[in-house]
Structure 1
Amino acid sequence: MLTIIDRYILKRYLLTLTGMILLFIPIGIMASLAEKIGKIIDNEAPLQEVIEYYGNFTLVIGNLLLPVFLFLSIIFFTSRMASKTEIVAILSSGVSYWRFLRPYMIGASLVAVMIFVLGQFIVPKASVGYSQFEYNYFHRGRQDRQTTNIFNQLSENDYIYVSRLDPNRQIGYNFTYEHFDENKQLEYKISAATIRWMEKDSLYRLTTYTKRSLREGRERVLTQRRLDTLFAFEINDLTQVSYVADTKNLFELNQFIADQRRRGASNINTYVLVKYKRWAMPIAAFILTITAVAVSSVKRRGGMGVNLAFGIGVAFIYIFFDKVFGTLAEQSGFNPLLAVIIPNVLFGTLGYFMLMKAKR
């Protein structure tokens, strides 16, 4: 059961975090609008899409910065408690330091649940509109996916290759489709100069079509100038947009990663890293809470300003380590699980030792 002290600290915890979000998110929106208003006007983005974009912007950026807001808000209100000797009074009344931490852990649990629900189910949906608007109006002309030398495994026995893809026109060049039998022997191979998705007819159009079949040691060759046919894939499945993992919820992402592993995707680490980061963020709420209390629960010369400066420094170092290990996982084959665990273990250990020092 919560005591008066528990309710007091928990109330300060949640109200300060809410105030921090309500303060900085509008500032972030105004800064973004001031920077991008020229491109919005030049590209004639519809007002409705702009409003939807900044609604999605609030969710995406808010979820990304929520751990930082949490960290700073705890330092802010705990430093004020320390400067007013409220913490000294609480501990002098016979409350142990660990008991003093209980409302902080309750608050961290509530925030962790919020981060989990946002990151796994709400933000992925917002990321679709957010990312599409970014590429349509702010990164126009820049490709949002790999467009050259695309190799994909559709199933255990089917492989495709396209030397170049134009996603806007939904056409691929130098297309190859290979089908192997159960013994991994090539059964037939289809090649074409181009493959184009004909949306009106819901089929594919191949030009300079050639099919080579191997049966009983004999080769058969069929050629046509043009062939309209069906395949069990969509042309956009040949290569995924760079932000595809960010747009899938918990269950969709797990299924997507399993499919990409089966297909032998070369950038599988990027998708796995997104999955692990989503699970790590709720845990980071506890690590940052402990570290923030350790930083700010001791009264120092210089007061709140010193604590905030130190806390901001620690937060940026944490973000730096997170980005470094994330980049290693995406570009050098570093284990994505370790890339997520190492920064959290390092700062969790740092927070624990700082907490022990503050307790003494």
Structure 2
Amino acid sequence: MNIIERYLWKSVLFSILITWLSLVMLDSFFAFLGEIGDVGQNNNYGNLQALYYILMGAPRRLYDYFPTATLIGSLLGLGNLAANSELTAMRAAGVAIRQIVSMTLKLGLVLALMVFVLGEWVAPRTEQIANSFKLQMQQKQLAVGVQGTWIKDGERIINIGKLWSEKKLENITIYQIDQQQGRIASITRAASAEREAGTWVMRQVERQTLRNDGITPETYAELREDKLIPEQVLTIAAVKPNQLAAQELAEFIAHQRANDLSSGRFEQAFWQHFTTPLSTLVMLIIAAPFVFGFQRNAGAGQRIFIGILIGIVFFLFNRILGNMGIVYGIPPLLAATLPLLLFLAGGLWMLRRVR
């Protein structure tokens, strides 16, 4: 049985990896073509920079395409075994369908853990690096590095430790430059800043005014600023939900709830950190009925077409329901898990009908 399991794993895993890489390479190619429109608009952003940007975004594409690659790859791997009558030989040797499915699900658990690690620690970081790199190449007044986001706005230089969204900032330092004397006039530090009614409210503020005769310190519990940072820079530099790990999302959601602020987009992104790896197992369950049910009267092309169609439907349904959840107030956990549960129920129902 161990020999059969290893052989099954080898056949299915090889097909999944080939499909996975093919989908990611195809999407990366079209993404590079899309970047050509930005090449040449800035002297710092050329073809090599665009290629680096695409390569750093590859882990995110690997993460997003893995459920679909699992479905198509498992259909190809199991389909090849069926076409060569190897599945029939396994069943004739006393290996039941549920045992074969169980073997593939063990492989799915390993892959799900791998995808979880990819989506939790690798993809968010590399995507931040890619976006920061492109911003630095295209925006002269903006730089993003290890020490946060740096913005030059007239006679001010602003450092933001964490730019959570377009309405929430943390660890802000503002350097006011005196151009006439060529020195720093004041340094303002704030623990956080939030947008309220069109103005920025900075909290736990410390300001040091530098004069020729010394330094004057000031502290404020709150300080309001009508224009803290430029709007266009804020829009492009704000952290997107899919650029955050689950722990960071949980911290941000807790803060939003404590302040009675909306957190729907971030809650949905949080649950997707868990539903995306689990969808790997669902795709393997869905693939089994198409292989065992149609192995005598359907070719590999038909199985692959059905698998691609199901993968597209799952992807679109997941995306549409997520957007509808944000607009119509559907609970994020339900919006994230409902497609998974529906496809799981459909896969189990079809699998029960296979003999």
TM-score normalised to structure 1 length: 0.70
| Superposed CA RMSD | 3.4
The 1:233/1:104 distance shift into structure 2, 3 A limit, reads: farther
Which residue of 2 is the match for residue 292 of structure 1?
A: 287
The answer on whether the counterparts of 1:70 and 1:285 sit within 8 Å (CA) in structure 2 is yes
Q: 2: CA distance between counterparts of 1:294 and 1:133?
A: 45
**Pairing 1:355–2:355 present:** no
Q: 1: CA distance between counterparts of 2:327 and 2:350?
A: 34
**Pairing 1:8–2:31 present:** no
Q: Give unpaired runs (5+ residues) of structure 1.
A: 141-166, 172-195, 206-226
- CA deviations 1:208-252 (Å, max 9, x no partner) are xxxxxxxxxxxxxxxxxxx9966679957x988664322222322
**Pairing 1:332–2:320 present:** no
Which residue of 2 is the match for residue 153 of structure 1?
A: none
Moved more, 21-30 or 249-258: 21-30
Which residue of 2 is the match for residue 72 of structure 1?
A: 72
Q: 2: CA distance between counterparts of 1:354 and 1:242?
A: 44
**Pairing 1:116–2:77 present:** no
Q: Give unpaired runs (5+ residues) of structure 2.
A: 140-150, 156-172, 177-183, 191-215
Deviation at 1:116? 0.8
Q: 1: CA distance between counterparts of 2:152 and 2:318?
A: 34
Q: 2: CA distance between counterparts of 1:51 and 1:36?
A: 9
The answer on whether the counterparts of 2:16 and 2:69 sit within 8 Å (CA) in structure 1 is yes
Which residue of 2 is the match for residue 26 of structure 1?
A: 25
The answer on whether the counterparts of 1:67 and 1:288 sit within 8 Å (CA) in structure 2 is yes
Q: 2: CA distance between counterparts of 1:48 and 1:232?
A: 48
Deviation at 1:120? 1.2
The 1:170/1:127 distance shift into structure 2, 3 A limit, reads: farther
Which residue of 2 is the match for residue 125 of structure 1?
A: 125
2:259 aligned partner, one-letter code: R
1:311 aligned partner, one-letter code: G
The answer on whether the counterparts of 1:291 and 1:351 sit within 8 Å (CA) in structure 2 is yes
Correspondence for 2:255 among 235, 256, 259: 259
Which residue of 2 is the match for residue 301 of structure 1?
A: 297
The answer on whether the counterparts of 1:12 and 1:77 sit within 8 Å (CA) in structure 2 is yes
**Percent identity at matched positions?**
20
Q: 2: CA distance between counterparts of 1:68 and 1:58?
A: 16
The 1:230/1:204 distance shift into structure 2, 3 A limit, reads: farther
2:175 aligned partner, one-letter code: M
**Pairing 1:90–2:94 present:** no
- CA deviations 1:151-189 (Å, max 9, x no partner) are xxxxxxxxxxxxxxxx87499xxxxxxxxxxxxxxxxxx
Which residue of 2 is the match for residue 320 of structure 1?
A: 316
Q: 2: CA distance between counterparts of 1:64 and 1:260?
A: 27
Would you say how many aligned residue pairs link Structure 1 and Structure 2?
A: 287
- CA deviations 1:291-323 (Å, max 9, x no partner) are 012222331434001101111111111112111
**Pairing 1:281–2:276 present:** yes
- CA deviations 1:53-110 (Å, max 9, x no partner) are 1222211111111111111100111111112221111111111111112320111011
Which residue of 2 is the match for residue 269 of structure 1?
A: 264
Q: 1: CA distance between counterparts of 2:175 and 2:12?
A: 56
Q: 2: CA distance between counterparts of 1:41 and 1:233?
A: 44
1:39 aligned partner, one-letter code: D
Which residue of 2 is the match for residue 202 of structure 1?
A: 187
2:352 aligned partner, one-letter code: M
